[in-house]
Amino acid sequence: MENRNRYENLFLIGFSGSGKSSVGKLLAKKLKFNFLDTDIKIEANLNMKINEIITRKGEDYFRKMETECLNEINYDSKMVISTGGGIPTIKENLKIMNHFGIMIWLNSTIKTIIRRLEKSKEIRPLLGEKISENEITSLFEQREKYYQLAKFSIKTDNKNLNSITEEIKNKLSKLNN
Ligand code: S3P
């Protein structure tokens, strides 16, 4: 696969609770790009909640759906895509994302992740029913090397959506120059 214009599609990657969906929506609005959230698209495709897909059909099946979802997106219009936390752990997904755009890592500390997940109503079956610092830390450590493959990263702790999206815009304008 030859790379297309690399900065036309932005894939937000990072652990659950790092702000991918909220940042993605605002960033898309500011850049006048379209917005897509892979979890929401998968739920719509299968007419099932993510939690149900993973518990009833298994993680491997869900991972296949994620790759299918990335393959189905129409990349001809400029897009900001918020991805599920496990997407960059699959080689094929990395290939697709690097082909159609760039990955931006929204990086949060474990402390922030836990605080956000405790507030969230969403059930994340891979993180267990009760938020455990040990489990989150161990999964985060397994995933970090994939998140580090991003073109650049933004620390999201204690920052509001506006400053995070402005930081991303600044970094993007430097890349484009
Ligand atoms: C997952 C993260 C979730 C969702 C699914 C699996 C993961 O998305 O895709 O529950 O493997 O980390 P968020 O990162 O939006 O929470």
pLDDT digits (tens, 9 = 90+) for 137-169: 999 999 999 999 999 999 999 999 999 999 999
Global pTM?
0.95
Q: Which of 41, 126, 136, 141 to mutate to test the pocket of ligand 1 (most atoms within 8 A of CB)?
A: 126
Decide if pLDDT at 50 tops 80. yes
**pLDDT one-digit tens code per residue, 89-134:** 999 999 999 999 999 999 999 999 999 998 887 878 888 777 889 9
The Cα–Cα gap between 121 and 52 comes to 15
Reference 66, options 40, 103, 33, 102; nearest CA is 40
**Domains of the chain with CATH codes:** 6-176 (3.40.50.300)
Q: Is 86 in the pocket of ligand 1 (CB under 6 A)?
A: yes
Cα separation, 130 vs 132, whole angstroms: 6
Q: State if residue 38 touches ligand 1 by the CB under 6 angstroms criterion.
A: no
